[in-house]
Amino acid sequence: MMINIAIDGPSAAGKSTIAKALAKKYQYVHLDSGAMYRCVAYKAKLEGIAIDDEQKIISMIENTVIELKPDGSIYLDGKQVNLEIRTNEMSMGASNVSKLPLVREELVRRQQEMAKSKGVIMDGRDIGTVVLKDAEVKIFLTASAKARAERRYKENLEKGVESDLEVLTKEIEARDYQDSHREHSPLKKADDAIEVDSSNLSIEEVVSKIEEIISKKI
């Protein structure tokens, strides 16, 4: 039986990493909803559109093609942008555009269309509460701001990206506040979601915990 799996949680909690691992195990499609918002923020920057100019951004999206490939590649208008959209600037940019109701409405519509055929693992901040309300499995993946900043710091070092742990921690806390206090579709745990705290767990341990939850549904 094919089901849909929703994974929500704050920035840098490891949602995409866990979703990718689960998608590989179950041969499901991983849809990274956050990457779509990052693509919008990135294109707005390229075109010189203010991040809060909703009408101009909506007009831009109408002529924007975002493709999430099974191998994890992300294409914006035919060009791979995996690295370009993963900067701290684009992280905050994604949070800013996600506050715009018309932008959310359009991207949610696209995400729901992608998930119609089932067999999808989608991660984000409002998947279980808005995008896939009927997902058979809902996970709320969390971790302390300190643990998340340390992970992001380590990732940046491995990529050769200059980073400051204290700055990263403050940025993550700022994004947490912004995501959980926005007017439309704020970050929150769905009533029927199961919370998994990954602060002191390895990727393998988190995956194992979620596999136990999924196995009860399929």
3-state SS assignment for residue 64 = coil
**Percentage of the chain with pLDDT > 90?**
78
pLDDT-derived band at 72 (thresholds 50, 70, 90) equals confident
The predicted model scores a pTM of 0.83
Residue 71 has pLDDT above 90, yes or no: no
- At which residue do the structure tokens 């075109």 appear? 47
Contact by Cβ (8 Å): 198, 6: no
120-135 tens-digit pLDDT: 999 998 999 999 999 9
Nearest to 176 by CA among 196, 149, 207, 208: 149
Q: What are 196's two structure tokens?
A: 């998994």
Which of 66-70, 119-123, 198-202 has the least mean pLDDT?
Answer: 66-70
pLDDT top residue among 95 and 6? 6
pLDDT in tens, 133-176: 999 999 999 999 999 999 989 988 988 888 899 999 999 999 89
Decide which of 56 and 70 is more confident.
56
Within 10 A of 159 (CB to CB), how many other CB atoms are there?
A: 10
Would you state the pLDDT for residue 170? 94
Residues 6+ apart with CB under 8 A from 181: none
The two tokens of residue 146 are: 């300190």
C-alpha to C-alpha distance for 46 and 185, rounded to whole angstroms: 26
- Could you tell me the domains of the chain? 4-207 (3.40.50.300)
Please tell me the predicted confidence (pLDDT) of residue 183. Answer: 84
CA distance 55 to 73: 28
- Please state the φ and ψ torsions of residue 138, each to the nearest 5 degrees: -125, 125
pLDDT digits (tens, 9 = 90+) for 200-214: 999 999 999 999 999
Pairing verdict, β 120-124 and 79-80: unpaired
**pLDDT value of residue 1:** 85
210 conformational bin, left if phi > 0, alpha if psi -120 to 50, beta if neither: alpha
Residue 205 burial (CB count, 10 A): 12
* Residue 122: closest CA among 28, 39, 12: 28
User: Is the predicted pLDDT of residue 88 greater than 90, yes or no?
Assistant: no
Closest by Cα among 135, 148, 20 to 91: 148
What percentage of residues in the chain have a pLDDT greater than 70?
100
